[in-house]
Every structure is written in C-alpha cells, then in structure tokens.
Amino acid sequence: MALNSLLITGLLLSVLTFFLTKINKKLGSYFTIFSTLFVLVFLFGYMNDVGTVFNLWSFGGFSLQLVSSNYGWFFSIIMVLTYFLVSFFNPYWVEKMVNPASYNMLYVFSVVSTLGVFFAKDFLTLFIFWEMVVWSSLFIIPLGKSRKASVVYYAISTIGSFSMFFAIMYLYSLFQTFDIKSISQNLISSPNTAVMAYFVIIIAGLAKLGIFPFHTWLPIAHGNAPHTFSPVLSGGLVKMGAFIALLVSAIIPTSQIFSNHIHIIGVPYENYIIMVLGAISIIVGTLMAIKQEDAKRLIAYSTVANGGYILIGISLLDQVGFAGGMMHIFNHAMASAAMFLTIGAVAYRTGTTNMSELGGMIKKMPVTFAAYLIAIISIAGIPPTSGFASKWLIFQGLASEGLMFIAFATFFGSIGSFMYVFRPLATVFLGQLSPKHNDVKEVPFMMQIPMLVMSLLTIYFGVFPSQMLGFISKIQASLNIVPISVEGSKIYSFSGMWDSLVITAVFVIGFIIAALIFYTHKKAQPVDQMNTYTAGEFIYDPESYHYAKNYYAPFERLYKNHPSVEKFYDAIALRVNEFGRLVRSWFFSSNASVGVFWISVIITIAFFWGDKI
Amino acid sequence: MSYLIALMIVFIGFLWQVSIDGIQRKVTAKVHRRVGPPWYQTFMDIFKALSKSSITHGFIYDFGVMMALGGTIATFMFLPFGNIVAFNGLDNFFVVVYLLAIGSLGMAMSASGSGNAWAGIGIMRALTQMVAYEVPFMIVVFGMIHVYGTSSLSELAHVQQMNGILGWHIFTMPLGAIVAFISLLGMLNKVPFDTPIAPTEIASGPMVEYGGKHFGMLMLQHEFATLVEVGLFVNLFLGGGNLIEYLIKYFFVYTLVTLIYAVSARFRIENVVTFFYGVPIVLSLVQAAIVIFTGLGVNV
C-alpha cells in the first residue's frame, strides 16, 4: 500500500474505532490491536525504500508530501511496534476508562499521525502532523488520574511548537519553500540562519524529548496518564523529539554547516550546548528518579535521563556515538514501555502504583517480574541486553572525542540508573508480600504477550546487536556520516571491538559453573519469607517489616535543598496568574460602577479623538 | 581453545586469590598484634560453608546467588591475568565494568528476595556506594582510553611497559592512580568503605540471611570480584606484566589495601558519597583534563 493511502486508511481506521467502541467497548479495543498491526504490516514493506515521493494533498501552490527514507522508517517502525504491543493492554483497561471511544480513536489517530511526522517531505506536513500527535495525546492524558497534567503537558509542548512554527515561517520567508531538502541546501550557504534555525527548531525536540529545562511535563504527564498510555508516551511519542534532533542536526547537515564555527573539544559549540543540556538532563533525571515514591513517576524521570543519552548520541554525529544514540531509541522504547507495562500490570491487579504499598509480587506475578527484570537490565546497560550495546557505543563515541564533562554525566547516569531501577524491583516485586495482596493473580495471557515480546526483543538485539546496527549503518551512509563497521556479531569502534555472542557464551558458561556448584551441594530447606533474622525482635506484620519507604533516604538528604526549575516555572505561573487577576479586577468586575467607569472612559476618549479618527 | 584457557584462569585465580586472602588475614592479625588463622583458613571456610545445610527463601533467592557467582566468574574470564588473555580483543574496560554489575545485581536481587529489612538497607548502601566510587574511577580510565585509542586492558597494560618502571601510570598519571586506589578501596568494600556490610550496624547487610552453600557461593563471588577489581588496578596503573610480575604486583596492592583497612574505622554512607564527590572527583577530572588536553604522562 502506498504510504499516503496507508496514512489516510489509518486515519479512517481511527474513526472506525470510535464507532466500534461506541457499539461495543471490547470490540473497539480489540480493533486498536488490529489497526496498529495493519499499519505495522504495511509499513514493513518500506524497509529499503528510499526517496519515493507520495502526494498527500495539494492546495494552491502548496502540497503536503511524504517521502520514504530509512531514518523515517526506523523511527516509525519503533513507534508503531510500541503502539501495537501496548494495545494488547487496551481491552482490559477499557472498562475503567471514562471515555473509551475517544481513547481508542485517539490511540490509533496518534500513531498514524506520527507516520506523517517521520515521512514528511516538507516542514508544513511535519508541523501539521506534529500538532495532530500533540493534540491527540493532549486529550488522552486527562483520561487518567489528573486533568491538570494535560495543561502542563500542553504548556511545555506549546513552547516547542510555537518556536518550531516561527522557524518554519521564517525559513519560508527567506527561501520561499517548505521542502526540507532544499532548505537544508540553502542553509549550507547561510550558516548564521542555520544557527538560528538549529536552536529554534530543536527547542521543539527538546520539549518533546523531555530535556532540561523542559523535562517537567514528563513526570506529571507520564505519571498521571492512563496506565495503557504511559508506555507509548514514554516509549514512543517522546522519541519524536529525537527525530527533530536528528532532523536539525543530521538531515540538515550541521557538521558541514558549523564546521568553521568555534569548536569545544572537537565539537561545534552549537552541538556542544545541546549535548550539555542532554548531560544536565541525565543528572537531573537520575537524581529525581531516585527520590520518587511512585513507580510511574520514577520511570518518567528515567525517561528524562535516557532522553539525554539519545540526544548526546545523536548530537555527536560521529561513527559510533551516533549509532549508539539511534540504537538507544529502540532500546529505550522497548525497555521503558516494558517497565511501564509491568507497573501497569501490577496496578491492574492491586490498584496502586505507590511502591511503598506493594511488595512481594514475584510470588503472584512471576511473568511480570521477569519482564521487569529484563527491562531494567537493559535500562541499566548490562550485557547481554540491547541496552548495553547502545551505551557502549555512546561511551565509545564520547571517548573518541574526549568529551570528559559529558562523559562524567553519562557515567553518573549509568551507575545511578542501578539505584533507581532497583527500587521498584526490591519494593514492588521482592520483599515482603502484604496480606491484602494475598489473592492477587498473574495478569491474563493477553497482557503477558507484549511484556514477553519486548523482553525477547531486548535480549535478541543484545545478543545480535549487529542486526540493528547494520540498518543504522545504512542510515548513517544516507546522512553522510561514516557508517559503523559491523562484522558478524563483532562491532568495531575506535578503541577496539566487542563481540556480543562471545560475551553471552561466556556469561552462560559462568552461570553453568555457578549452577553446578549450587546443584551438586545439599538441597536447601525452604522457609517462609517472614522467617528471617530480626536481631532478636519479634515481627509478625509483613508490612512493617518491608523496607520500602524512603529507600534512599541517606542519599536523598545530600541534595534535598536542590535548586529546582519547577520552582522557577511555578514563580512564572504565579506572576501570570497575578497579572490575570489584576486585569480581571480592572475590566471584569461584578461591581457595576467599574463597568460604568470604563464605559465613560471609552466614551471620553472617543469624544476627544472623534474628529481625528 | 580460548574457553579452555578461560576455565584454567578461573581455576588458577581461585587458588591464588583464596590463598592471598588467607595471607591477608595473617597480615591483619600482625597489625592487630594477634596470631591469626593459618593461610589456608579461607579455603576451609569456603568448603565448610558449601558443605553445610542451608535455607532458601524461594526461587529468586537461589537464582540471584547463581547469577552473582556466574556473572562474576564470567567477568574474570575477560580480564587479562598477567600476559594470559583468554579472549583476545575482548578484554574491554567497559565490558568488564558492566559485566561486574551482573554479579552485584544478582546478589542485590537475591538479598532483597529474602525479604529481610537489614538486607534491604545493605543493598541500598551498596548501590549508593557504587555511584560514589565508580564515577571517578571511570573518568580517569576514560582519559586513558581517549589518548591511547584503545579500551583493551591488555593493550593499556602493554603501553606502560615500554618505558620501564617509570612508564607505569602510577608514576606518569599519579593523580589518577590515587583516585583509582581510593576507588579500589570502595570497590572491595573494605574498611573505611565497608558501609554496606557493617556487621555492627545492620547485621552484615546483604549477607544477613545467608548460610550454608548460598553463603559459600557468595564468598566465592567476593573472591572473584576481588580478583577483577585488584586486577583492573594492576593492569591499568602498574603495567600488568607477565604472570609472575602480575602476581607480585597484585600481592603488593592487596597488602596495601589490607594495611589500610586493618587500622581504619567506617564511614557513614552519606560521608562515603560526599568523600568521593569531593577531592577524588576533582582529581580525576584534573587528571583526565591533563591527559586529554596536554598529553602529559602519556607513553608514546
């Protein structure tokens, strides 16, 4: 199916979903699985298709056009795959939704709109579909816990959208075209405009990717969105920001345009500034994630940190770091969506995402636990999962450039991620099982499918990362970046090679040795979870014996008085609010004399200016 | 073939480290004016623990122990042991650092799986301490990797041997060596950085629930982790060398660690973090900056 008709069909399918859900809630929810699968299947055909132009709509002298490209395919397949897998959760949550019909419609609508963003040939198409995605998610978020969340989301999103729109119109006024390719050709000859365009457009990307100082919407929106939408928000939609970053730094060839500009440690200062923002997000995201008591907010802050990795990788624009950043998009989509899904699964059975109220879920939900374990191993970047592949490549990229301050942030975030990902593991899945959760069951098999598939994909691309890096090398070639060299399961970088297959084999050998030692010795006697050493105290209550609240209290104490950009935003909001109240008290008072006063003032002005007008 | 060499290294490393550990107990005893146990005491401890009966708190409790020991053994297989490198080209610094985390994660998971609150506190402290010591160490090595263009540990050891003893990074990059040595104390969980274990405060933290073969396996895990951690320091800062040289250097580094821990008291956990994020992190950044921007101390 041609790309433009796929898009139109997808949008029609979303409308169909709406009416089907009106007829039957379950039917409509199953239809979201079908719709996303439909898009996924037809999208696969565009894997190696580059440069075919599809006309979407023409009016006057303008036309909305799509063009197939390998980077667009890479982004969109990740997005649609995440949506497809998460949609298996929809039929189970539909009963708890306030407005299931519009949820299901917007769910399909937003994924199809992202295709328009990723395959846009011109900025106008990109912007229109970008706004469609923003608006559809805007209406989904309040279906969750909080209505205010979508206000915060929209406020931050608007900053990005407006600045992008301003840049697009400015570039149009200069070059009389919306076409991305011809604009990037024109920008090469006018580097000063390019600097402006780079910064103004990338703000939209930063806002979407949740980069400091625009990260504040992520914990609020992800934490309050419906449990079925948080995974796609974090795993999928956030990656649109990465696409914008890719667009303005690689598709508009900044390494070429900025090559004569001031370089900081071998990187043009423009890219370095963006990398510094990525580094700050890593540190802020990590520190804030450690503090959270709510599992969903914790994962949202980890998304902030991982957005930093992606941005740094893409801004490096080199052989290995760029490939690492691109691969991290996929890894993070799978891992964070899986984390959100497992927490959603726990919430489906227990009704809470507050970590200190849970505990010991492993006995009741082993599959969910396994999926969470694999996801966090990938987020923490430990072999043999795919998260290690991308982190290794980003480290190599940073090491080859010698960017030590950025590297400091990435190391801190990488080690710090052990701290925050371990917390839900220990407090939700391990530890003491509260008696009120004694009758909790594993989620239905339908809900286990996406978790299992995501885990398998994480391990598959961890053992065979070259499968994906091969495709990324094609993207690099099409963007005039030296492609990463891959040979079988070996990956080469400037500082040596790495063979994922051997590492996995050695890990298996090590595990076999350990298992041999374990199983050849005396069988252990199983005891109850409460039957533990308590230093002479007698504790019969599992809840008070479960160490979950204020988990990292000593570490949090070290930065409890941290400066916060939220306070700054709150201060701005307060001022705006005060100004609004001032205006209202002047003009919109319920007191009649105020109205009479303004009417007389206006009449007086009109009277004295009358003859001049 | 390389797999056989790896297994051989694991066996030799086991014998070496466990004997050394026994000798260190003698050294500590001498500092404390005691007699101390015989040098083979650690062997006896491990085999005794493995042969005794134990308890289990469920699947994850067993699985975590296996993952801890297996992951740590796998890490050790990649480390150059003297001039023996089992997997040529794969003795990559980042691979070693991250594979080592599998061992820690397994142990943390197993200990949390026991449901003991002391274990939970111990794990919390261990993870916090990891953030503290790992970052300065990685920055120092980051500078090294940048200037030599290789992250292979055996090659980094090799470049130091070209200018004789004075080419060792402990002399050419003294700031980095100091930072790495302090980080090594943190990695080994030795006093003053034994906060996660802290027997007097939190009943040995992660270890509180273990007995019998589980405890024996975690003792083994600790020995292999020590092999990796001290081995990293010897390879990166003391120039590696052939097997005999390597073992001698290893012995000296480990004895120095022992001498420090025999006479120190324990840090509180937040003090560990503020300690590492004070002077060591500044020194590590200075060292990396010197290496990257001036090239001072780089062997050519």
Contact at CB, A517 and B92, closer than 8 angstroms: no
What is the per-residue pLDDT for A610?
67
Output the CA torsion sign for A542, A545, A549, A552.
Answer: negative
The sign of the dihedral angle between the CA atoms of A574, A576, A581, A582 is: positive
Give the best residue of A506, A525, A556, A561 to mutate against chain B (max B CB count within 10 A): A506
Among B94, B135, B212, the residue with its CB nearest the CB of A415 is: B135
Judge: A529–B270 Cβ closer than 8 Å, yes or no: no
Phi and psi torsions of A371, nearest 5°: -65, -40
- Greatest CA separation found in chain B? 59
Helix (H) or strand (E) holding A14: helix A3-23
Output the average pLDDT for chain A: 85
How far apart are alpha carbons A36 and A31 in whole angstroms?
A: 9
Query: What one-character-per-residue DSSP string does A363-377 give?
Result: GT-HHHHHHHHHHHH
Q: How far apart are CA B77 and CA B94, in angstroms?
A: 14
**pLDDT given for residue A213 in this prediction:** 84
Using the predicted structure, report yes or no on whether residue A611 has a pLDDT greater than 70. Answer: no
Radius of gyration of chain A from Cα atoms? Answer: 26
Tell me what pLDDT residue A612 has.
59
Residues β-bridged to residue A65: A55
pLDDT confidence bin for A578, thresholds 50/70/90: very high
A485 or B48: which leads in pLDDT: B48
DSSP secondary structure string, A145-174? S-SHHHHHHHHHHHHHHHHHHHHHHHHHHH
Q: How far is A249 from chain B (nearest CA, A)?
A: 24
* Distance (Å, whole) CA B147 – CA B156: 11
pLDDT digit string, tens, across residues B235-266: 888 887 788 888 888 888 889 888 888 888 88
Beta strands at A485-487 and A267-268: parallel, antiparallel or unpaired: unpaired
Beta strands in A398-549 (DSSP E): 485-487, 490-493, 496-499, 525-526
What lies within 8 Å, CB to CB, of A436 at 6+ separation is none
Bridge pairing between strands A263-264 and A62-67: unpaired
Contact assessment for residue A227 and residue A450, using Cβ atoms and an 8 Å cutoff: no
Q: How far is CA B107 from the centre of its chain?
A: 15
Q: Is 80 exceeded by the pLDDT of residue A534? A: no
User: Which of B65, B152, B288 faces A496 most closely, judged by CB atoms?
Assistant: B152
Using CA atoms, how far apart are residues A9 and A43, in angstroms rounded to an integer? 13
Percent of chain B with pLDDT over 70: 100
Q: Place A574 in a pLDDT band, splitting at 50, 70 and 90.
A: very high
Query: Could you tell me where the beta strands, DSSP code E, fall in B25-155?
Result: 55-56
Structure-block tokens of residue A515: 């298992």
* List of residues 6+ apart from B84 with CB closer than 8 A: B5, B9, B243
Whose structure tokens read 């982790």?
Answer: B225
Residue A44 gets the label, from left (phi > 0), alpha (psi -120 to 50) or beta, of alpha
C-alpha to C-alpha distances, B286 to B142, B143, B146, B281, nearest whole angstrom: 12, 10, 15, 9
Q: Using CA atoms, how far apart are residues A551 and A108, in angstroms rounded to an integer? A: 39
The DSSP result for A531-542, as a single string, is -S--TT-----H
Instruction: State the pLDDT at residue A473.
Output: 85
Q: In terms of Cα–Cα distance, which of A473, A235, A191 is closest to A344? A: A235
pLDDT of residue A22: 84
Q: Among partner residues B101, B113, B155, which is closest to A382 by beta-carbon distance?
A: B101
> Is a pLDDT exceeding 90 seen at residue A353?
no
Residue A57, beta-bridge partner list: A64
Contact flag B90-A499 (C-beta cutoff 8 Å): yes
Buried/exposed code over A510-521 (b: 16+ C-beta within 10 A; e: otherwise): bbebbbebbeeb
As beta bridge partners, residue A499 has A490
Question: Which residues does chain B have within 8 Å of residue A391's beta carbon, measured at their own beta carbons?
Answer: 98
Asked if residue A384 has a cis previous peptide bond (ω within 30° of 0), the answer is yes
The candidate with the shortest Cα–Cα distance to B176, out of B162, B160, B161, is: B160
HEC per residue, A271-303 = HHHHHHHHHHHHHHHHHHHHHCCEHHHHHHHHH
Which pLDDT does position A575 carry in this prediction? 93
Say yes or no: A73 contacts chain B, CB-CB below 8 A: no
Nearest to A510 among B58, B70, B90 (CB): B70
In order, the DSSP letters of A491-520 are EEETTEEEEHHHHHHHHHHHHHHHHHHHHT
Residues in Cβ contact with B164 at an 8 Å cutoff, skipping those fewer than 6 apart: none
Give Cα separations from B192 to B88, B197, B230 (angstroms): 36, 11, 17
- Say if A516 is an interface residue toward chain B (CB within 8 Å): no
What is the nearest CA distance from A519 to chain B, expressed in angstroms?
10
Query: Chain A, 405-434: which have a CB under 8 Å from a chain B CB?
Result: 405, 407-408, 411-412, 415-416, 418-419, 422, 425-426, 430-432
The answer to whether the CB of B67 falls within 8 A of the CB of A382 is no
* Total-model pTM: 0.89
User: Roughly how many angstroms between the first and final C-alpha of chain B, as a whole number?
Assistant: 33
| Partner-chain residue, chosen from A431, A503, A511, that has the shortest CB–CB distance to B112 | A431
Nearest Cβ partner for B151 among A430, A495, A515: A495
> Which residues of A fall within a CB distance of 8 Å from B115?
360, 430-432, 529-530, 532, 542, 545-546
| pLDDT above 80: residue A589 | no
A467 touches chain B (CB under 8 A): no
Task: Give which of A393, A392, A338 is closest to A368, Cα–Cα.
Answer: A338
Tens digit of each residue's pLDDT (9 = 90 or more) over B180-205: 888 888 888 887 888 888 777 777 77
- What is the pLDDT of chain B when averaged over all its residues? 85
Chain A, residues 235-274, CB within 8 A of chain B, namely: 265
Contact between B269 and A554 using a beta-carbon 8 Å cutoff: yes
Among B70, B115, B270, the residue with its CB nearest the CB of A557 is: B270
Q: Do A408 and B138 touch, CB atoms closer than 8 A?
A: no
- The answer to whether the CB of A84 falls within 8 A of the CB of A36 is yes
Mean pLDDT of the A284-304 span: 88
List, for residues B135-182, the tens digit of each pLDDT value: 899 888 888 888 888 888 888 888 888 877 787 888 888 888 888 888
Q: What sections of A70-229 are H helices per DSSP?
A: 70-86, 90-93, 100-118, 123-140, 148-175, 180-189, 191-209, 217-224
Q: Between chain A and chain B, how many beta carbons pairs sit less than 8 Å apart?
A: 261
Indicate the helix (H) or strand (E) that contains A264.
Answer: strand A263-264
- Taking CA atoms, what residue in A is nearest to B3? A506
Beta-bridge mates of residue B55: A525
- CB < 8 Å to A265, chain B: 292
> What does the pLDDT look like over A31-73, one tens digit per residue?
888 888 888 888 888 888 888 888 878 887 788 888 888 888 8
Per DSSP, the three-state class of A431 is coil
Distance from CA of A251 to the nearest CA of B (A): 28
The yes-or-no verdict on residue A98 having pLDDT over 80 is no
Q: Residues B82, B243: contact at Cβ < 8 Å?
A: yes
Q: Does A501 touch chain B (CB under 8 A)?
A: no
Q: Which of these, B245, B271, B248, B288, lies nearest to B132 by C-alpha position?
A: B271
Straight-line distance from the first to the last Cα atom of chain A, in angstroms, rounded to the nearest whole number: 62
Tell which of A517, A520, A530, A545 to mutate to test the B interface (max B CBs under 10 Å): A517
Residue A576's φ and ψ, nearest 5 degrees, are -60, -45
pLDDT score recorded for residue A208: 87
Q: CA of A457: how far to CAs of A82, A204, A336, A385, B64, in Å?
A: 12, 30, 13, 9, 23
Contact A392 B95 (CB under 8 A): yes
- CA-to-CA separations, A559 to A22, A504, A564, B127, B188, in angstroms, rounded: 50, 38, 11, 17, 26
> Is the pLDDT reported for residue A268 higher than 80?
yes
**Separation of alpha carbons B30 and B36, rounded Å:** 7
By CB neighbour count within 10 A (0-12 exposed, 13-18 middle, 19+ buried), where does A103 fall?
buried
Q: Between chains, do A382 and B98 touch, taking CB under 8 Å as contact?
A: yes
Q: Return the residue in B9, B10, B57 with the most chain A beta carbons within 10 A, the one to mutate for interface testing.
A: B57
Which residues from chain B sit within 8 angstroms of residue A399, using beta carbons? 142, 145-146, 151
DSSP B1-63: -HHHHHHHHHHHHHHHHHHHHHHHHHHHHHHTT-----TTHHHHHHHHHHHS--EE--HHHHH
Question: At residue A613, does pLDDT exceed 60?
Answer: no
Question: If you average pLDDT over residues B101-116, what whole number do you get?
Answer: 85
Contacts of B54 in chain A (CB under 8 A): 522, 524-525
- For residue B227, the chain A residues in CB contact (below 8 A) are none
C-beta atoms of A377 and B105 within 8 A: yes
Q: Is A43 exposed, middle or buried (0-12, 13-18, 19+ CB in 10 A)?
A: buried
- Would you state the pLDDT for residue A542? 78
Asked if the Cβ–Cβ distance from A533 to B208 is below 8 Å, we say: yes
